[in-house]
């Protein structure tokens, strides 16, 4: 089973790369979307993603309980594509008592991924390349996403960083 992590900044090409890699497997795909349409701009982004994906892919929308969704939908002959982990983290950070929820959900995710019957492609925004944010919520987001990416990179077979639509393999088999 393959576990892949694709990191990159906004509009770096990470989602398109993940979708292309998923198509090339020839497996049935379950696309696990974590976004919430909180405003018109996010609704537009979600629509753009939906239009780009093959219509026969199964769509699962899960904003908080990601490990449960993965356990439910993993099976032989199926690839799971999660887009995006940092939106999932954002959803959790906006919950009351987010720290307890995050500790549980992150632990559950890290435990379930290596046991899944399906290969999985995880997409996330790399946020640690800029200046330290001024607000507490933003700093928590950058810190927690960075630690999540480090923990995931340890268990992934391949880690890819995308810049300007160009993938750079940081760990694992070359593309």
- For 149-175, the pLDDT digits (tens) are 999 999 999 999 999 999 999 999 999
Q: Residue 132: its pLDDT value, please?
A: 82
Counts of helices then strands in the chain (DSSP H, E): 6, 7
Measure the CA–CA gap between 46 and 31, rounded to whole angstroms: 13
Measure the CA–CA gap between 82 and 45, rounded to whole angstroms: 16
Measure the CA–CA gap between 175 and 158, rounded to whole angstroms: 10
**Active-site residue 49, yes or no?**
yes
Measure the CA–CA gap between 144 and 130, rounded to whole angstroms: 15
| Catalytically annotated residue among 49, 56, 73, 149 | 49
Measure the CA–CA gap between 125 and 51, rounded to whole angstroms: 21
Looking up residue 18, the CATH number of its domain turns out to be: 3.40.50.300
Burial class for 18, CB neighbours closer than 10 Å (0-12, 13-18, 19+): buried
Structural domain of residue 47, as residue ranges?
Answer: 3-171
Mean pLDDT in consecutive groups of 10 residues from the start of the chain, 175 residues: 92 95 97 91 88 94 97 96 97 96 98 97 92 90 96 98 96 96
The reply to whether the predicted model has a pTM over 0.75 is yes
Q: Which residues share a beta bridge with 120?
A: 3, 80
**Number of domains, the chain:** 1
Q: Residue 1: its pLDDT value, please?
A: 63
Q: What does the angle CA 45 – CA 33 – CA 73 come to, to the nearest 5 degrees? A: 160
- Helix, strand or coil, per DSSP, at residue 169: strand
Q: Residue 45: its pLDDT value, please?
A: 86
């Amino acid at each position: 089973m393959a576990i892949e992590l694709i990191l990159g900044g906004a509009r770096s090409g990470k989602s398109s790369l993940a979708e292309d890699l998923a198509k090339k497997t020839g497996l049935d795909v379950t696309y696990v979307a974590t976004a919430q349409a909180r405003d018109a701009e996010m609704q537009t982004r979600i629509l753009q993603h939906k239009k780009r994906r093959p219509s026969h892919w199964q769509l699962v929308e899960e904003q908080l309980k990601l490990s449960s969704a993965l356990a439910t939908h993993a099976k032989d002959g199926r690839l799971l594509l999660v887009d995006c982990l940092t939106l999932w983290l954002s959803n959790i950070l906006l919950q009351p008592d987010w720290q307890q929820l995050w500790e549980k959900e992150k632990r559950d995710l890290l435990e379930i991924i290596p046991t899944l019957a399906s290969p999985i492609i995880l997409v996330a925004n790399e946020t640690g390349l800029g200046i330290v944010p001024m607000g507490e919520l933003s700093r928590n987001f950058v810190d927690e996403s960075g630690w999540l990416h480090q923990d995931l990179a340890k268990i992934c077979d391949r880690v890819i960083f995308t810049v300007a639509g160009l993938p750079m393999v940081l760990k694992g088999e070359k593309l």
